[in-house]
A and B are shown apart, each in its own frame.
Chain A
Amino acid sequence: MSFPWAKQYQPTTDFGKYMDKQLPVPRLVYSALGAGYPTPRNLNYFYNFGVLNGVALVIQIVTGVILGMHYAPSTLVAFDSIEHIMRDVNSGWMFRYMHAVGASFFFAVVYVHIFRGLYYGSFKPPREVLWMLGLVIFLLMMATAFMGYVLVWGQMSFWGATVITGLFSAIPVVGGYIQTLLLGGFAPDNATLNRFASLHYLLPFVIFGVVILHIWSLHIPGSNNPTGVDVKGPQDTVPFHPYYTAKDFFGLGVYLTLFAAMVFFAPNLLGEVDNYIPANPLSTPAHIVPEWYFWPFYAILRAFTVDFFFIPAKLLGVLAMFAAILLLFFLPWLDTSPVRSNAYRPLNRILFWVFVAVTLVLGVAGGKPAEEPWVMLSQVFTAYYFAHFLILMPLVSRFEKTLPLPNSISESVLAKYGKTPAAPGASFGGAVAQPAE
């Protein structure tokens, strides 16, 4: 990425110069995260969430590796090994709670990060691949989290694994074979647990690799910003260090404080009590629910209650659940508005907030037993979910009247601090406002 006014790395020490010739890591860090990365000056707190995602991933990997030193992936001892961690391993309880709560916090910040991208059009050209890499990370996260939850081998672990692997049997012809292949048997058992342990250890490092690609892809065009207007010159940017390192450090402090509050004072709040009962293949819990971050998709899965022509309801639900995520890959080609940011797209902005509300309701519905009124709500709102992305958004982006964009980022920043407030529709003549006499 080449903003011509970006500061270049200048090694000062002899050692610095020596390393710069052989393995220029400091140069890479300087131009990616340091004073050599010009960043739009108008980023708001929603732009902290990328870094928070990275921190959450590192916390999961560190606590996960530690837990891996004490956990045993055999159905005979898995549950006991986790109680061993909670009771006997030095600070084991802390690492276990950090890992469990950390997964929830990781999804929370990822969702905010995704919604930021939706709002400000960060998925639009030239950042389509960046967006799709992010979705790949999201899919890998969901697989990792699902397998990690099974490792506890409590009632919810076992029966959640039964339900989700059972979904594959809905695929016509080959579904049963795929299910048996995944399980290594006919029901979740030792074979399943062992392979989930191996993959759960592997995938976070694959995620880490895709995150590197994600950040690399971002650094080609540079960061988007709340106006959606491209960077035009040095007056539009500030060096990442110290401006955004300082802001990110503060954001990190807030994140860690909230994280500590939950880890130490409400560690089981987002969990299910049934998972403190060892898995029993002969007794099903009253309500099988996944963790909260899967609830919107679980609601979509359960919304399809009747067969449609020749397609069984179970298969419809599975297809819809996967389609709900896969359609996001096509977003850059569904939303074709040349205006990026919802700040200048009033109709799309309304649509966005309706979508947020719908997702929240779907989330709540996914955690409830399959009873009215939640079944009806799931069905109506699932219809809206698909209509939003596949019908409404393409139409709105084609036909809406957008607000005039500022000529540059600095212009919009000045408008905030200048004498005249930025009024929608006012013309922004002249690059730099002069104090009016």
Chain B
Amino acid sequence: MATETPTLDTQLPPEGDRRRDFLYVATASVAAVGVGAVVWPLINQMNPSADVLALASIDLDLSAVEVGQTVKVSWRGKPVFARHLTPAEIELANAVDIKSLRDPQTLAERTKSGNAQWLITLGVCTHLGCVPLGAGTGEVRGDFGGYFCPCHGSHYDTAGRVRKGPAPWNLEVPAYVFKTPTSVTIG
């Protein structure tokens, strides 16, 4: 009785078996899904960790900030200026012709209604990111009474809008809400 001799040549049988093709495609697809599932955590671990996200929002007590004073706080690693505007500064800001501004915005657009005396902006020059002067007592405020950036000479007015120098936009106003008349939550 002849038994089938196992073949010893190394030629693969002809690729005719469709079931085998399907199996290989299925295996490769499942493996690809696995690779994709692994890739996401590899990338997501670079996103902010929970302790960084916890500091994404801070509460600021404004009760100690006198009229004409500015307080500097750190938010998300960057400085925030909270200025208690004087009535003169508010009038000066409102008197400016919006159309003449590089980045047209009114003071009302940059403050909360009913709290126009509180100007809360990022303390980061919109040119290349230096921290402008003008928040501390005795610091230079520039030609327009707001802030002055010594790095390349940008001047900001009493509403934090850019008036002179290379900065393209007004100082950024972060998202904030008044929790009480004297405290805000930024971020």
19 contacts between A and B (CB under 8 A): A38-B10, A66-B45, A69-B45, A69-B46, A70-B49, A84-B51, A88-B50, A88-B51, A89-B45, A90-B49, A91-B45, A92-B49, A95-B45, A235-B8, A239-B10, A410-B8, A413-B8, A414-B6, A419-B3
The distance in angstroms between the C-alpha atoms of A235 and B51, with both chains bound, is 63
CB distance from B159 to the nearest CB of A (A): 39
The distance in angstroms between the C-alpha atoms of A38 and B9, with both chains bound, is 13
Q: Which residues of A have CB within 8 Å of B9? A: 234-235
CB distance from B150 to the nearest CB of A (A): 34
Cβ of B10 and Cβ of A237 under 8 Å apart? Answer: yes
Cβ of B42 and Cβ of A66 under 8 Å apart? Answer: yes
The distance in angstroms between the C-alpha atoms of A29 and B8, with both chains bound, is 26
Q: Which of A231-265 contact B (CB under 8 A)?
A: 234-235, 237-239, 242, 249
Over the window 26-61 of chain B, the binary record of Cβ atoms lying under 8 Å from chain A Cβ atoms (1 yes, 0 no) is 010001000000000110111101111000000000
The distance in angstroms between the C-alpha atoms of A151 and B158, with both chains bound, is 52
CB distance from B112 to the nearest CB of A (A): 33
B5, B10, B51 — which one has the most chain A CB atoms within 10 A of its CB? Answer: B10
Q: Which residues of B have CB within 8 Å of A89? A: 45, 49-50
Cβ of A414 and Cβ of B10 under 8 Å apart? Answer: no
Cβ of A234 and Cβ of B42 under 8 Å apart? Answer: no
The distance in angstroms between the C-alpha atoms of A92 and B44, with both chains bound, is 10
Cβ of A238 and Cβ of B50 under 8 Å apart? Answer: no
User: Does B2 sit at the interface, judged by CB under 8 A?
Assistant: yes
Top 10 nearest A-B pairs (CB, nearest first) are A91-B41, A88-B50, A88-B49, A235-B8, A88-B51, A89-B49, A90-B44, A435-B3, A90-B45, A417-B6
Q: Which residues of A have CB within 8 Å of B12? A: 242
The distance in angstroms between the C-alpha atoms of A62 and B8, with both chains bound, is 42
Q: Interface size for chain B: under 10, 10 to 19, 20 to 34, or 35 or more residues?
A: 20 to 34
Q: Which residues of A have CB within 8 Å of B44? A: 90-91
Residues of B within 8 A of A (CB): 2-6, 8-10, 12, 27, 31, 41-42, 44-47, 49-52
The distance in angstroms between the C-alpha atoms of A414 and B9, with both chains bound, is 12
Q: Which residues of B have CB within 8 Å of A414? A: 6, 8
The distance in angstroms between the C-alpha atoms of A70 and B49, with both chains bound, is 10
Q: Which residues of B have CB within 8 Å of A234? A: 9-10
Measured CB to CB, the nearest residue on chain B to A89 is B49
Over the window 426-437 of chain A, the binary record of Cβ atoms lying under 8 Å from chain B Cβ atoms (1 yes, 0 no) is 000000111101
Cβ of A238 and Cβ of B10 under 8 Å apart? Answer: yes
Measured CB to CB, the nearest residue on chain A to B7 is A235
The distance in angstroms between the C-alpha atoms of A434 and B6, with both chains bound, is 10
Over the window 47-89 of chain A, the binary record of Cβ atoms lying under 8 Å from chain B Cβ atoms (1 yes, 0 no) is 0000000000000001000100110000000000000100111
Q: Which residues of B have CB within 8 Å of A242? A: 12
Please give 15 more A-B residue pairs, beta carbons under 8 A apart, in addition to A66-B42, A87-B50. Answer: A84-B49, A88-B49, A88-B52, A89-B45, A89-B50, A90-B45, A91-B41, A92-B49, A234-B9, A235-B10, A237-B10, A410-B8, A417-B6, A419-B3, A433-B5
Measured CB to CB, the nearest residue on chain B to A92 is B45
The distance in angstroms between the C-alpha atoms of A271 and B3, with both chains bound, is 56
The distance in angstroms between the C-alpha atoms of A413 and B5, with both chains bound, is 12
CB distance from B120 to the nearest CB of A (A): 28
CB distance from A38 to the nearest CB of B (A): 8
Measured CB to CB, the nearest residue on chain B to A238 is B10
B44, B45, B49, B51 — which one has the most chain A CB atoms within 10 A of its CB? Answer: B45
User: Does A178 sit at the interface, judged by CB under 8 A?
Assistant: no
CB distance from A28 to the nearest CB of B (A): 22
User: Does A43 sit at the interface, judged by CB under 8 A?
Assistant: no
Q: Which residues of B have CB within 8 Å of A92? A: 45, 49
The distance in angstroms between the C-alpha atoms of A306 and B133, with both chains bound, is 74
The distance in angstroms between the C-alpha atoms of A242 and B42, with both chains bound, is 30
CB distance from B161 to the nearest CB of A (A): 38
The distance in angstroms between the C-alpha atoms of A90 and B52, with both chains bound, is 11
Q: Which residues of B have CB within 8 Å of A319? A: none
User: Does A94 sit at the interface, judged by CB under 8 A?
Assistant: yes
A69, A89, A95, A242 — which one has the most chain B CB atoms within 10 A of its CB? Answer: A89
CB distance from A9 to the nearest CB of B (A): 17
The distance in angstroms between the C-alpha atoms of A238 and B12, with both chains bound, is 10
